[in-house]
């Protein structure tokens, strides 16, 4: 057995080997030690190898999914090794023969299909990178699939956009040819991708043999019918197809044919911007607090995944965007229809994932039930939309739903029972009345006593022997027993002799059987096995029909998801008072009463103050051929970062086809979005906070064009004041003169406000504040003009710095602003007293009214009623007036 294990393990060195032994998957040697630590299970030992104990641990087969989920989450790959031979066959080769085993699948982060291992609302993409060398330049392409739903897409990319395109898809696993993976020029990209990236043999990505491999996988003569693909795209497609064949072994998932994404069809958002804006997850990795969590009102898993896909890939085509707006407007106008639709969709299971499990021979009766529930919802929806004039997107979805195979849906309804077991081997999932022999076998299995009693009544009536009994024992099985004095009736005539077969003579009884009773005995003995066999046969037929209709079922399921997303966005727009934006091909960017969707909802949950809405207008002024730039000044805590982010989020929401949190919005399509907000470092790569800031700023200035939207916050703050001011100053000039893009540039360098007089498209705006009795009140309002100070000391006081530190800071700030020290540190030391001296010279606390203090100290606040507290306040006020 260990020889067999070592041989199979040698063929799968990069995976933990789940080796099937009876009801357990066992792991040995290093695999056992790694799994024991990762899963927290007991490490034991069994036998010896080369004189040493063999480490061993195991997990029950019935609970394997739970353990797989944890291992995959930790980045492990698992090879599942099953018995592929009946133990009885192995024994024929000798009593010590080992049952044949082999790996039936490789479980990797990008190829999981089990319901337990997949979050319903999250996609699990597997991505492949293809590269073709051509002279001085290389061409790149990415192909990605969602194995559990069959999605298959491909797009060309470039070395500069590679990281951004990978992050846009957010794959669970990225496979790369080994020479590409170890290319020094691409190392920074794969370092940022992290353990998601996995090197594979280069033969998987061979572009020359790719067409033949692709054609063989999809069982077509040539892949040319899918469209025209570049060599890099063919390399990526080949890599992903080969990897699926490698991991799924003999099974073939029902993947869609590769769908090409046109270059520039989606809004380019660089990785830093995606992280800063927290689209799918917060910086801490949680979905709570993300934009997706704030906008998700879908009622199906497929709908939630489509919503996330739209959020990560906003469009750049105004026509398609406006078609999505039309769908939302339709459901807003048809409230009752929208409610009925959502109620109908709530009962829909995940059809695409169920279909994939069935195709991979991992399905269950409940997966067939998922298809049935989808068909039932589709039929109900067709009734809902009768005589309704719907917009283009909704109409297209309804057409796809109408194309669902109704005959197959009827077949599922007729074949499947109401209550379906988790496993097909449990049986009981075929509806009574569907299969005559199955009903008979179930009757024999479940009602054998009633069947035998019926035969007994028939025999009594036939022979007239009232004492006749049909009995059973382990030796004779079923037999007919009569008393000895009825022998003549049972054996007297030739007819009786031919019918009743003598089995045994007792002292006072005789036992017989009949051909019918013997056949019935055989049927009863085999009924349960035969019933299950029939049900499994029905299951296989239904699965074959499902897979045969895979393409049309997937299209119908996608149409249901479209309706779910449109209706959900309508619910969101109504509940949150969002407006339909105007999206066109202009350079406009005018937001009236814009709000941050996540912050606004958080304030509402906390029952805090209402969110303060703000306008933003970066549209070109009369005659200008480029958008405006806003230079935003104001204090920390004043709301600058929120204002910056909300405008970027509004652009994303609009171009994904959603209404937006504003009173009105007019947006000319943005082709590239850059957001540099917040501070972070990259210590693993030797980059300080300032270095990261400069790298990200450089990427923006090198890539932004006139259709870009750029959000920059506090550029230059990580270095000396004059250095930082110089960098920020030059960056704004470059944005204005070279990039010519729409931008908001937030800064504490108030000297930069002078640029508004020099740069015609630059406008000064500020976060408004009020000062009240030495404190600062943040209004969170954006207005025209420039701030003359940053109120940093006041913010420090609000943060809880000791009073002595705050007072010292005020003194230093006063002399710096007065210009008395000319900015020289040595002059500060000479002109200002040491901090310790300031602390010692603090003015004594003012004298207190002793009587008032005594009265206050005497109050027992925990035991006072509201009335008593009010009376005490009056007394204290009176004492204060007298004192």
- Decide: 619 and 628 in contact? Cβ < 8 Å: yes
Q: Which two tokens stand for residue 269?
A: 């958002």
- In whole angstroms, how far apart are CA 601 and each of 425, 595, 608? 48, 10, 10
- Decide: 298 and 304 in contact? Cβ < 8 Å: yes
Q: How many helices (H) and strands (E) does the chain have?
A: 34, 27
| Helices within 789-847 (DSSP H only) | 792-799, 803-818, 825-831, 835-840
- Decide: 274 and 167 in contact? Cβ < 8 Å: yes
**Measured distance CA(441)–CA(446) in Å, rounded:** 8
**Cross-strand pairs, 770:** 777
Query: Is 523 annotated among the ligand-binding residues?
Result: no
**Measured distance CA(736)–CA(627) in Å, rounded:** 9
- In whole angstroms, how far apart are CA 248 and each of 8, 356, 439, 566, 656? 16, 12, 37, 35, 35
Using a 10 angstrom Cβ sphere, with 0-12 exposed, 13-18 middle and 19 or more buried, the burial of residue 798 is: middle
- Decide: 814 and 673 in contact? Cβ < 8 Å: no
Query: Is 860 annotated among the ligand-binding residues?
Result: no
- Decide: 480 and 513 in contact? Cβ < 8 Å: yes
- Decide: 317 and 585 in contact? Cβ < 8 Å: no
Instruction: Calculate the CA dihedral of residues 798, 800, 803, 807 and round it to 10 degrees.
Output: -50
Angle subtended by helix axes 721-734 and 689-703, to nearest 10? 20
Query: Is 285 annotated among the ligand-binding residues?
Result: no
Within 8 A by CB and 6+ apart from 183, the residues are none
| Helices within 268-350 (DSSP H only) | 271-277, 291-295, 301-312, 318-333, 335-345
CB atoms within 10 A of CB 607: 6
Within 8 A by CB and 6+ apart from 146, the residues are 123, 124, 125, 126
**Measured distance CA(129)–CA(133) in Å, rounded:** 13
State the DSSP H helix or E strand holding residue 544, giving kind and residue range, or none if neither: helix 515-548
Q: Show the beta-strand stretches assigned E in 383-542.
A: 469-473, 477-483, 501-505, 509-513
Query: Is 702 annotated among the ligand-binding residues?
Result: no
- Decide: 90 and 100 in contact? Cβ < 8 Å: yes
Query: Is 823 annotated among the ligand-binding residues?
Result: no
**Measured distance CA(171)–CA(303) in Å, rounded:** 19
Query: Is 764 annotated among the ligand-binding residues?
Result: no
What's the angle, vertex CA 260, arms to CA 258 and CA 264, rounded to 5? 160
Query: Is 882 annotated among the ligand-binding residues?
Result: no
CB atoms within 10 A of CB 547: 18
Nearest to 561 by CA among 298, 333, 314: 298
**Measured distance CA(474)–CA(437) in Å, rounded:** 27
Helix%, strand%, coil% for the chain, nearest 5: 50, 20, 30
Within 8 A by CB and 6+ apart from 698, the residues are none
Nearest to 657 by CA among 376, 324, 382: 324
Which position has the token pair 């898993």?
301
Phi/psi of residue 184, nearest 5 degrees: -60, -35
- Decide: 344 and 324 in contact? Cβ < 8 Å: no
Query: Is 678 annotated among the ligand-binding residues?
Result: no
Nearest to 235 by CA among 262, 271, 203: 203
Q: Which two tokens stand for residue 289?
A: 């607090």
Rg of the chain in Å (alpha carbons): 38
Q: Which residues are annotated binding-site positions for ATP? A: 634-641
Q: Which residues are annotated binding-site positions? A: 634-641
């Amino acid at each position: 057995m260990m020889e067999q294990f070592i041989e199979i393990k040698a063929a799968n060195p990069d995976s933990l080997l789940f080796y099937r032994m009876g009801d357990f998957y066992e792991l040995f040697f290093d695999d056992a030690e790694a799994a024991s630590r990762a899963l927290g299970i007991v490490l034991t030992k069994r036998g010896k190898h080369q004189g040493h104990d063999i480490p061993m641990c195991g997990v029950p087969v019935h609970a394997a999914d739970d353990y797989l989920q944890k291992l995959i989450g930790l980045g492990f790959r698992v090879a599942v090794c099953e018995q592929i031979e009946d133990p009885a066959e192995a024994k024929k080769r000798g009593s010590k023969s080992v049952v044949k085993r082999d790996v039936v699948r490789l479980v990797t982060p990008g190829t999981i299909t089990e319901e337990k291992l997949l979050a319903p609302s999250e996609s699990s993409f597997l991505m492949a990178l293809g590269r073709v060398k051509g002279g001085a330049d290389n061409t790149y392409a990415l192909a990605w699939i969602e194995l559990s739903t069959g999605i298959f897409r491909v797009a060309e990319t470039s070395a500069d956009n590679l990281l951004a395109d990978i992050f846009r898809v957010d794959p669970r696993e990225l496979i790369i040819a080994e020479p590409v993976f170890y290319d020094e020029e691409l190392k920074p990209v794969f370092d940022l991708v992290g353990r998601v990236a996995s090197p594979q043999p280069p033969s998987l990505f061979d572009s020359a043999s790719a067409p033949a491999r692709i054609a063989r996988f999809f069982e077509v003569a040539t892949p040319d019918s899918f469209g025209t693909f570049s060599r890099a795209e063919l390399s990526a497609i080949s890599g992903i197809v080969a990897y699926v064949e490698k991991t799924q072994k003999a099974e073939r998932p029902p993947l869609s044919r590769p769908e090409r994404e046109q270059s520039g069809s989606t809004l380019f958002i660089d990785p830093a911007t995606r992280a800063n804006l927290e689209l799918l997850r917060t910086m801490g990795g949680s979905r709570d607090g993300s934009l997706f969590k704030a906008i998700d009102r879908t009622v199906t898993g497929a709908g939630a995944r489509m919503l996330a896909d739209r959020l990560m890939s906003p469009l750049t085509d105004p026509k398609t965007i406006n078609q999505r707006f039309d769908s939302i407007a339709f459901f807003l106008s048809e409230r009752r229809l929208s409610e009925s639709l959502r109620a109908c969709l709530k009962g829909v299971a995940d059809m695409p994932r169920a279909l994939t499990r069935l195709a991979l021979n991992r399905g269950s009766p409940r997966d067939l039930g998922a298809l049935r529930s989808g068909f039932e919802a589709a039929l109900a929806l067709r009734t809902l939309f009768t005589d309704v004039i719907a917009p283009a997107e909704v109409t297209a979805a309804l057409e796809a739903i109408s194309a669902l195979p109704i005959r197959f849906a009827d077949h599922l309804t007729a074949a499947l029972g109401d209550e379906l077991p988790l496993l097909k081997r449990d049986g009981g999932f075929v509806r009574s009345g569907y299969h005559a022999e199955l009903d008979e076998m179930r009757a024999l299995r479940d009602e054998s006593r009633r069947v035998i009693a019926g035969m007994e009544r028939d025999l009594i009536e036939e022979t007239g022997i009232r004492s006749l009994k049909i009995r059973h024992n382990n030796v004779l099985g079923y037999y007919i027993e009569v008393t000895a004095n009825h022998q003549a009736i049972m054996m007297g005539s030739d007819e009786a002799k031919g019918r009743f077969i003598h089995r045994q003579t007792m002292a006072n009884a005789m036992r017989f059987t009949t051909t019918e009773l013997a056949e019935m005995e055989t049927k009863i003995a085999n009924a349960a096995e035969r019933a299950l066999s029939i049900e499994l046969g029905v299951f296989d037929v239904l699965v074959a029909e499902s897979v045969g209709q895979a393409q049309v079922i997937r299209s119908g399921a996608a149409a249901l998801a479209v309706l779910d997303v449109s209706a959900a966005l309508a619910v969101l727009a109504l509940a949150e008072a969002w407006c339909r934006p105007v999206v066109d091909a202009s350079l406009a960017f005018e937001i009236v009463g814009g709000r941050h969707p996540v912050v606004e909802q958080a304030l509402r949950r906390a029952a805090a103050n209402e969110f303060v809405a703000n306008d933003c207008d970066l549209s070109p002024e009369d005659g200008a051929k480029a958008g405006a730039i806003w230079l935003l000044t104001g204090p920390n805590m004043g709301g600058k970062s929120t204002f910056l982010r909300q405008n970027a989020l509004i652009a994303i929401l609009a171009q994904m086809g959603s209404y937006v949190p504003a009173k009105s919005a007019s947006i000319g399509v943005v082709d590239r979005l850059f957001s540099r907000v917040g501070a972070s470092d990259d210590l693993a790569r030797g980059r300080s906070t300032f270095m990261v800031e400069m790298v990200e700023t450089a990427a923006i200035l090198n890539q932004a064009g006139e259709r870009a939207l750029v959000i920059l916050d506090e550029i230059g703050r990580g270095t000396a004041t004059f250095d930082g001011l110089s960098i920020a100053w030059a960056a704004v000039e470059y944005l204005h003169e070279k990039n010519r893009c729409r931008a908001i540039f937030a800064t504490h360098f108030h000297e930069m406000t002078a640029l508004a007089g020099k740069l015609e498209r630059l406008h000064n705006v500020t976060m408004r504040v009020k000062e009240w009795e030495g404190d600062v009140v943040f209004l969170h309002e954006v207005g025209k003009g420039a701030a003359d100070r940053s109120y940093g000391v006041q913010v420090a006081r609000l943060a809880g710095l000791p009073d002595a530190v705050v007072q010292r800071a005020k003194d230093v700030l006063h002399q710096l602003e007065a210009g008395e020290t000319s900015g020289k540190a040595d002059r500060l030391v000479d002109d200002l007293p040491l901090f310790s001296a300031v602390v010692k010279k603090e003015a004594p606390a003012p004298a207190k009214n002793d009587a008032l203090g005594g009265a206050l100290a005497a109050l027992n606040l925990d035991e006072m009623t509201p009335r008593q507290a009010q009376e005490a306040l009056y007394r204290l006020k009176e004492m204060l007036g007298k004192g």
